[in-house]
Structure 1
Amino acid sequence: MVWQLAAEAVLVVHLLFIIFAVFGGLLGLWRRWLIVLHLPAVAWASLLMINGWLCPLTPLEITLRQWAGQTGFEGSFIGHYLVSVIYPSGLTRTLQTLLGVGVGVFNVGVYGVIGWRGWRKDNL
């Protein structure tokens, strides 16, 4: 029971990290100090996706599930939990790379807006 709860906690943290990496830049529009937390998160998430690396949280969750007597899963967190919902046709390596680039481009745009707002505020 303890290992299952730990695995579920890792799952929740993993999902929250993904949401923060993708959309956390928007929080910078609200609280600038969150940018300091978001930039490393988006860099890490983009590097994982672009390079096809496995997030360390995935094997941790698998191990905890196995210790709980459950079967683990193969592949990535996104592949196991989200692909069937978001990408019914499957997550290819090309699509994974595009997603990683897309996260980076989206956040560059968000930070462009933040920079523009700061520049306008200082120069008006």
Structure 2
Amino acid sequence: MGYEVLVVVALVLHVSFLAYLAVGGYLAWWWPRTIWLHLVTAAWGVAVVAASLTCPLTTLERWAREGAGQSVPDAGFIDRYLTGVIYPEDHVWTARIVLAIVVVVSWAGFVMRWRRRRAQQRASISGQAATYR
């Protein structure tokens, strides 16, 4: 029973990670301090793709499936659950590029909002300083 729970936990964490990878930059528009977590998330995503790393969650899933007596997939999470389901198998790089564009647009929006906030704060501080003179 415990191994089956770990399989589900690994799958939920994988989905959560990928969802955060896609939208975390937009969440940082409202919670600016989270941009650092999103930068780390994106860096890990790029490293996994660029260096063909095995995600620790995939390792956990495989170990838990083995312990539960289930068949252990050769493919990783994305290859098994997303490729051919969310996007066609021959469009893996297209999906990666689209995701990268989504992330870059979210970061650009974050920077624009951050600059606007900073300008508003400076104007507010200048206005307060003038009031006290």
Q: TM-score, normalised by structure 2?
A: 0.78
4+ aligned runs moved over 2 Å, structure 1 = 49-54, 95-106, 120-124
State the partner residue of 1:45: 45
State the partner residue of 1:117: 113
1:35, CA displacement in angstroms?
A: 0.9
1-side partners of 2:96 and 2:83: how far apart?
15
Structure label with greater radius of gyration? 2
User: Where does the alignment leave 5 or more consecutive residues of structure 2 unmatched?
Assistant: 121-133
1:101, CA displacement in angstroms?
A: 4.2
Within a 5 Å distance, the mapping from 1:29-108 to structure 2 comes to 29-87=29-87, 89-90=88-89, 92=90, 95-108=91-104
State the partner residue of 2:7: 7
2-side partners of 1:50 and 1:23: how far apart?
21
2-side partners of 1:16 and 1:120: how far apart?
30
2-side partners of 1:48 and 1:20: how far apart?
16
Q: Which amino acid aligns with 1:111?
A: W
2-side partners of 1:16 and 1:114: how far apart?
21
1:119, CA displacement in angstroms?
A: 1.8
Whether contact under 8 Å (2:4, 2:65) holds in the other structure is: yes
- Counting aligned pairs with the same residue, the percent is 29
More helix as a share of residues: 2
1-side partners of 2:51 and 2:99: how far apart?
14
Whether contact under 8 Å (2:83, 2:92) holds in the other structure is: no
Q: TM-score, normalised by structure 1?
A: 0.83
Q: Which amino acid aligns with 1:103?
A: L
Whether contact under 8 Å (2:6, 2:64) holds in the other structure is: yes
